[in-house]
Structure 1
């Protein structure tokens, strides 16, 4: 007994002398984490909803752990303002995630690149050569033509059931393809089909969870289950396509063709760049892929949710149709164009309300903290991954009356907008890492919505009532409707 007491006393002495001094840091509240995986189990299939639920218990700033990686989730406008404005530079970088790193040529793009000189150079090229006001205006005929083609396809399908989701995907793909590459990629030959399939596969892979990014010693799983080999195969197909594309455009440039699209502009910039600061081929490839990844899926998703909400809310649909058709009536048979969009305040309100309820990226792309900082009274360590829950913020009952209702009228007496200056809703992000292509995307989006509601009345197939329309979300970092938007269209009689 005496020996046991001595042993216990010795253990207490060891703990007393060798225990670490208590940390003075005030970390954000955190739920219980499991060994090895941490809090990954709490993310669920729709993390934006899971994190909103957790924030009600743990607060506007909470700390999770994905494996060994600390993850800070911000769920309030105040926290978003700190991250995207007040401390924007500190929060400006991106984490290096293996799948993204491979597809985007080791972070040579803009959306997923770490903050630094390479990112600044790439963003400058995008802003000046694709998303400047002059360039966005130059693509206006493309948006007009492709939107008209979509309307004609729908008219030819009437009175059969129309898959609006497919129509929107085709529209956004074709507009972006023509703006970036000068042609569409949806024809009958194998090369065109392969390119669309490549893009689809890249998006599918990027939306999957790679455990090796958070639990390094489990990285072997993707080698065993074949995911790593699949990533490599898709990358090789992508790079082969991009190499052929660059050869094609260089041949065109050698024949003296004018600069008409983004690829042309990047190659011209490459030719003009000094030897000390060249534009590498991998940068051009990554920026082209970036534009497709950011410009197609998100805009298609915004169109899909907007039309679903309008169909589900017949009163709102009728008010919008009345506004759009009144503008059209004053044009004496000339179709609606982008100049007319400024005459449609209710359309602007519908756009804002849809983006508030359904931000295409409910969780803004992750940021990585490049130094220790304090966020709303909490100490956040350098290297933490930071997620802003845009979806939770735009449904915050402290900011929005009846936040789950689709009510565009709420914006009539409000200056709040989606362009990154108001943190009550940030569907496109804000600050340095905000989306540079807002004007390009919204021009296409608003033109498509206005022409659709002008030309058609909408119903649901099989006698489904508007209020019973399925609004279930599909998993993914870009959140689509789980089921496609199937409608019955009735062309408006003139």
Structure 2
């Protein structure tokens, strides 16, 4: 018996030794990876991303040395950083399917309801059907147009609040812009102002703050101990629980209103909000995939987060850069005041022909790309990009902030010059790879028209009704343009200005 056991053990040891020898003798394929900075054990390239510096800025600095296609190792995570239009085109057009998965780390998974939403869901049939529902039901041109009255009402209310504050001195315009966008989007989503709005936004803001750095749980995904101990991950999960409770309550309130006859009224008037649309589709069971309650909550999270954060951020940057550039401010104000011709109330019909206003928004999107590192993708299978190998599983960051400020493609890239878009075919719809503030390919943001629509009338109204003065002692070029850290590059400090009523809005 002992001889049999000894024989089995000997065979086992021999097999192990042969396996080790084979692994050494058989050469593993070597990938021709893009260049990158030198690495350290365990942490990889993390020491190159200087603490206190926004990650997209640090990545641009490294790319200027190592090239537009650069390899980084972030703890256990292998990453590719894309910093040129040519490389972006290969990733988001030539190999779009290969890079259509999202990289969902522990923090983003917690934030996005475990990838059940649209923005962070893995590429596949479920994602395709969810996106189709968003494009064909929630974000159609007709639906966006149906919210016109809401945008006009909220813009008028915004102007009245500003006029009432004009005599009291400086106002926190950033805060007022955020409130306006959030009120507008809440009405577009629910049909009325939302009583849970402040609580929800507090939870969302706290959660987004946790994405501002590189959480340890995201860098070492294989360590269960790290996942348990990471405080950022725990905070995001707590915030998600708060947001989920609020979204479920909003859904329940809307459902009760629909049961009382609100559904028929909304359908008749063509003012059905996002929540109502999703609940109607759930009731009809007409979608290719089931719209269960968890999916509706996840989709609503996407709509609230993307709809409010990026629009308010961009509108805030528009006003910031106009204040810093008096010539551009004068030109924009002259255009809107000539177009509106002394009206006390303005509507979206009055926006036709405001060409310079649209250039201002484009330039703000270029100089202050709302999501500097486009929501990260993941390589689904090994492929070649610009002659380099990109292994399966590699995380891909497209540094659109760096591309939009690259002097190879933009004259005076650090200057705010709306005129650069005059007589130009450059647009943000996903075909010009030097200018992709909303992304491109299959993963392009589906809500571009709604986001821009929520900004245009408000910006025109701010320029039409008011002149804007800086607090005493501040020169236009001294206005702070530093960015807060996080997924969305909002202005780090609030924009404080004195509104001077030029043309009083109605009801003032």
Q: Distance in 1 between matches of 2:79 and 2:171?
A: 42
Distance 1:127 1:17, change over 3 A: closer
2:65 to 49, 53, 57: 57
Aligned to 1:4: none
1:116 to 107, 113, 124: 124
Task: Please report how far the alpha carbon of residue 128 of structure 1 lies from its aligned counterpart in structure 2 after TM superposition.
Answer: 1.8
Q: Distance in 2 between matches of 1:405 and 1:30?
A: 29
Q: Distance in 2 between matches of 1:298 and 1:90?
A: 27
Query: Counterpart of 2:384 in 1: which secondary structure?
Result: strand
Distance 1:31 1:15, change over 3 A: farther
Task: Please report how far the alpha carbon of residue 242 of structure 1 lies from its aligned counterpart in structure 2 after TM superposition.
Answer: 2.6
Task: Please report how far the alpha carbon of residue 96 of structure 1 lies from its aligned counterpart in structure 2 after TM superposition.
Answer: 2.4
Q: Does the aligned pair in 2 maintain the 1:164–1:484 contact within 8 Å?
A: yes
1:352 matched to 2:362 = yes
Aligned to 1:70: 78
Task: Please report how far the alpha carbon of residue 276 of structure 1 lies from its aligned counterpart in structure 2 after TM superposition.
Answer: 7.9
Q: Distance in 2 between matches of 1:276 and 1:446?
A: 35
Q: Does the aligned pair in 2 maintain the 1:108–1:118 contact within 8 Å?
A: no
Superposition RMSD in Å:
2.2
Q: Does the aligned pair in 1 maintain the 2:404–2:410 contact within 8 Å?
A: yes
Q: Distance in 1 between matches of 2:396 and 2:67?
A: 15
Deviations for 1:379-414, whole angstroms, at most 9, x for unmatched residues?
100110001010111111111111111111111121
Query: Counterpart of 2:396 in 1: which secondary structure?
Result: strand
Q: Does the aligned pair in 1 maintain the 2:362–2:418 contact within 8 Å?
A: yes
Task: Please report how far the alpha carbon of residue 164 of structure 1 lies from its aligned counterpart in structure 2 after TM superposition.
Answer: 0.9
1:244 to 241, 249, 263: 249
Aligned to 1:450: 460
Q: Does the aligned pair in 1 maintain the 2:101–2:379 contact within 8 Å?
A: yes
Q: Distance in 2 between matches of 1:193 and 1:335?
A: 28
Aligned to 1:104: 112
Aligned to 1:481: 491
Within 5 A, what are the aligned runs for 1:67-466? 67-159=75-167, 160-185=169-194, 191-221=196-226, 223-224=228-229, 226-258=231-263, 259=266, 260-273=272-285, 277-329=289-341, 333=343, 335-466=345-476
- Any stretches of 5+ residues in structure 2 without a counterpart? 1-19, 267-271
Q: Which moved more, 1:390-399 or 1:336-345?
A: 336-345
TM-score relative to the length of structure 2: 0.89
Q: Distance in 2 between matches of 1:132 and 1:114?
A: 23
Distance 1:199 1:24, change over 3 A: closer
Deviations for 1:347-381, whole angstroms, at most 9, x for unmatched residues?
11111111111111111000001011111111100
Aligned to 2:4: none
Aligned to 2:44: 38
Provide the aligned length of Structure 1 versus Structure 2: 475
Task: Please report how far the alpha carbon of residue 434 of structure 1 lies from its aligned counterpart in structure 2 after TM superposition.
Answer: 0.6
Q: Does the aligned pair in 1 maintain the 2:314–2:368 contact within 8 Å?
A: yes
Distance 1:20 1:51, change over 3 A: farther
Q: Distance in 2 between matches of 1:40 and 1:277?
A: 41
Task: Please report how far the alpha carbon of residue 141 of structure 1 lies from its aligned counterpart in structure 2 after TM superposition.
Answer: 0.9
Distance 1:273 1:76, change over 3 A: same
Query: Counterpart of 1:257 in 2: which secondary structure?
Result: helix
Q: Distance in 1 between matches of 2:230 and 2:403?
A: 37
Deviations for 1:268-318, whole angstroms, at most 9, x for unmatched residues?
101112698321111100010111111111111101111111000001100
Query: Counterpart of 2:72 in 1: which secondary structure?
Result: strand
Q: Does the aligned pair in 1 maintain the 2:314–2:364 contact within 8 Å?
A: yes
